[in-house]
Amino acid sequence: MEIAYPLDNLIPEIVADDNLYESFDYVISHLDFEDQRAKYRPFREKYVNRLREEIGTGTFRVLRSDVRDLHVKDGPKERDVQAPKVIKRVGVHAIMVIIERYTYPSLIKNTAASIKGRGMHWLHHIVEDDLENVPSMMRFYHQSDIEHYYDNIDQGLMKQELRKYVCDEILLPMLDNFVELMPNGLSKGLRSSQCFANLFLSPVDHVMVEYCNKYTMHTDVGEEVRSLYYRYCDDTVIFASDKKVLWKLRDLYVREIAKLGLRIKPNEALRPISEGLDYLGYVQFEDYSLIRKRIKQNAARKLHKIKSRKRRQEVIGSFKGMACHADCKHLFYKLTGLKMKKFSEMGVTYTPEDGKKRFPGNTVRLSSITNVPIVVLDYEKDMKTENGDDRYLVSFKEGEVFKKFFTASKEMKQILDKISDIEDGFPFETVIRSEHFGENKTKYIFT
């Protein structure tokens, strides 16, 4: 089901207790040191009450005086980033959780940067799967990234793009404030910029998906049309079976981003996949992938120098997190002296003693997924929880992310049982709505 844009009246969801407290806990848990985290925890209630008031009245703002400018080095790249005060981080996070919930379903599938459940490893495996399924359609690739992307995002165009999604008169000035924090472009470091950067290129993505090569893949939940176009932030890859088609697609992409005042860097590449695609930390070939050379070298240097056993284990764990997504068992052994097996090679499966189904993903509250399109995949009856027995556990997908929720609703349970009696009843699309009745009582229904 599609969400009807632009959206209004999002403030009640942003200032809901669940969202504000979870945002505070998330930001505090990601501070670097325990003494920092301990410093802010006693003020949880105070911060939440202040943010509820400021966001609820539309007066929440992030000012230049609220951020520190830092110069950081990320591999060969150096950049200036902004670090907001903690309370400002919590406020921005609370707002953007709701904005992303409603806007990210509009993005194409093959974009992954800063999207929960869709990181660089996820997109890497999408490319791998496509190369395995249709190698003849992916003989050549064009790769490019945008010149100083964050710095060159036009703030006026960015605000216009946001108004395609949101028309809430209280919320929009706060979103505009996030856009305008820096004199030009978007702030590197403000939580909102990750989402805004994805939305800014979304119109280009939809044009490219329309013209790029596609194929149909059969999955457990039906047929899926896969496009051979991939974007991770501003780093884009397009595949085609021959160079002529690829040059035309490249020129189309250049024209589309030019409409946004952007241009690609001169280091663009159009090559056969047999030479390897350096993308997402890996070098991808037709039927195997390796870790990027710089990552291997950094790991080798660190392991050679490190004396601390604890720190060595941390480096090995980090490197294994990369190596297990590529064909690098021998490399991992050479650098660490440890053997690494893939789980799929072990032939081990789990059979629950109680016979109950086990579903992937985090358990969420029904209140957190109301008014959001989801796909219900399956359910399990008679689950015992700390809140009572005879609950149903429902497995679903929000976008590409697997999640699950418990329900004791007689109405929901009866509907799930009836759907299970229908041939091909699962999976099904729905939006869960909330209805208020009685004295502050709420029920949730499938629509």
Query: 252 exposed, middle or buried (CB, 10 Å; 0-12, 13-18, 19+)?
Result: middle
* 289-324 pLDDT per residue, tens: 888 888 878 878 887 788 787 777 877 777 777 777
pLDDT of residue 75: 66
**Residue 342's pLDDT band (cuts 50, 70, 90):** low
Contact present, 119 and 320 (Cβ < 8 Å): no
Using the predicted structure, report yes or no on whether residue 284 has a pLDDT greater than 70: yes
Q: Tell me the backbone φ, ψ of residue 87, rounded to 5 degrees.
A: -65, -35
pLDDT score recorded for residue 418? 87
pLDDT value for 439:
63
Whether the per-residue pLDDT at 343 is higher than 70: the answer is: no
The helix (run of H) or strand (run of E) holding residue 35 is: helix 34-40
69-108 residue pLDDT tens: 988 877 667 888 899 999 999 999 999 999 999 999 999 9
pLDDT of residue 421: 83
Would residue 8 be called left, alpha or beta, if left means φ above 0 and alpha means ψ between -120 and 50 degrees? beta
Nearest to 329 by CA among 282, 372, 290: 290
Name the residue type at position 176: D
pLDDT of residue 350 exceeding 60 = no
At 360 the pLDDT is: 82
Task: Give residue 252's pLDDT band: very low, low, confident or very high (50, 70, 90).
Answer: very high
pLDDT of residue 231: 97
- Reported as a pLDDT band with limits 50, 70 and 90, residue 433 is confident
| Mean confidence (pLDDT) of the chain | 88
Relative orientation angle of helices 171-179 and 86-103, to the nearest 10 degrees: 110
Read off the DSSP letter of residue 128: H
Both tokens assigned to 223: 């047929």
Report residue 429's pLDDT band, with 50, 70 and 90 as the boundaries: confident
Give the separation between CA 215 and CA 236, rounded to whole angstroms: 19
Residue 345 is predicted with a pLDDT of 52
* Most confident segment among 1-15, 217-231, 374-388: 1-15
Cis amide linkage into residue 6, ω under 30° from 0: yes
**Residue recorded with tokens 């007066």:** 59
Question: Is pLDDT of 202 > 80?
Answer: yes
Task: Spell out the residues 6+ positions from residue 39 whose beta carbon is closer than 8 angstroms to its own.
Answer: none
Element (H, E) at 111: none
Of the chain, the percentage scoring pLDDT greater than 70 comes to 94
- Is 128 or 422 the better-scoring residue by pLDDT? 128
Please, which residues have CB within 8 angstroms of residue 129's CB and are 6 or more apart in sequence? Answer: none
Whether the predicted pLDDT of 401 surpasses 70: yes
User: Which residues on neighbouring strands pair with residue 378, listed in sequence order?
Assistant: 395
Residue 370 has pLDDT above 70, yes or no: yes
* The pLDDT value given to residue 103: 95
Tokens of residue 98, six digits: 């709701």
Task: Work out the pLDDT band at 438, boundaries 50, 70, 90.
Answer: low
Whether 212 shows a pLDDT value over 90: the answer reads yes
CA 210 to chain centre: 22
CA-based radius of gyration for the chain: 24
pLDDT at 43 over 70: yes
Residue 128 has pLDDT above 80, yes or no: yes
Structure tokens at 106: 């509009």
* pLDDT classification of 221: cutoffs 50, 70, 90: low
Q: What backbone phi and psi angles, to 5 degrees, belong to 286? A: -60, -45
